[in-house]
Every structure is written in structure tokens, then in C-alpha cells.
Homo-oligomer: A and B are copies of this chain.
Amino acid sequence: MNTSIRALEREMLADIPLARAIDLRIADADGDSLTLAAPLEPNINDKGCAFGGSLASLLTLAGWSLLSLRLRIAGEDCDVYVQDSRLRYLAPVWGDLRATARLADGEDWKSFFGMLAARGKSRLRVLASVPGENGAAATTLEARFVALRRVVNLGAA
């Protein structure tokens, strides 16, 4: 899995300029949860705490990465899109950023992969959060993602 994690991180940084601007890395992943980390400095706002757009980006990418990594490990070649999300900014974040994503209640990988096998398309809801002080979440995201199998064009020749 470690090879897949490093490959995903490399591609994310290569393909998404804002991921480079945020200076993110995959800090931890075990298949059921995935954590992205980023320093505060490139993600600061006018008040000296973490910028809401950086938090939204990091949380969205944590969910996207959780799903993308699991698909790769399963040998599935898919495009993964975010469809909608709900963000709650509960407390300002004054230090470096960490965002951990896991499946939302009621979701499971077996159903997700079953639907993908049957239809070439599947949806999944993810929860992600940035920890604050005293163990409470400072920022949370609930988001729905869709995975679409890439169509391989065999061409005419």
C-alpha cells in the first residue's frame, strides 16, 4: 500500500497546482482512513489563522484521496469527482493543518465496489475533520463523491 500512497501523493501534487500551493502530503493511510497534512504558513488568512478555502481544499482532497487510494489498490481505473459538501468552521485553526477522512455512517466499501462493478459508476459519502484544541473538531466536512470508470478507447486501428 505504501507504494500506492506515494504514487497518489506524487500525482496529486503534479496534477493539481493548488495541492502544491497548500503544500500538502499524505501523512497517514490505512485503507479505512486517510490523513493529509499541510503547514499553516501557505494556508494562513488575514486573521493569522487557517484560511477557510485552504481548509475546504484540504478536507475535500482528504476525502478524494481516501476514495482514490482504495480504488487503486482494488485495481480500478476511475475518475473521482466531488458532488457536494457541507463544511462547518467550528473554531479557528492556529497551527499546522491535518485533515482525516473516513466513510460516513451507513457507507461500506463492499456496497461501493458492488455498485461500481454493476454500473461502472458508484457514489460514496465521506466525513473529514481537522482537529482543534481539546480533541474537538475545528472544521468538519461531509461530502459525496462519485467514481466513474475511465472508458478505454481501443480505437479503430
Contacts and interface: CB of A to CB of B under 8 A. Distances in A.
Interface string A98-125: 0000000000000000000000000000
Given A52-B60, A57-B56, A81-B89, A17 B46 contact: no
Contacts of A81: 47, 52, 89, 92
Sort chain A's interface into a size bin: 35 or more
Which of A17, A18, A47 has the most chain B CB within a 10 Å cutoff?
Answer: A18
A86 B142 CA distance: 10
Q: Is the interface of A mostly helix, strand, loop or mixed?
A: helix
Interface string A7-26: 00001100111110110000
Copies in the complex: 2
Interface stretch (A27-35, A37-45, A128-136): A37-45
Interface of A: 11-12, 15-19, 21-22, 41-47, 51-54, 56-58, 60-61, 64, 79, 81-89, 92
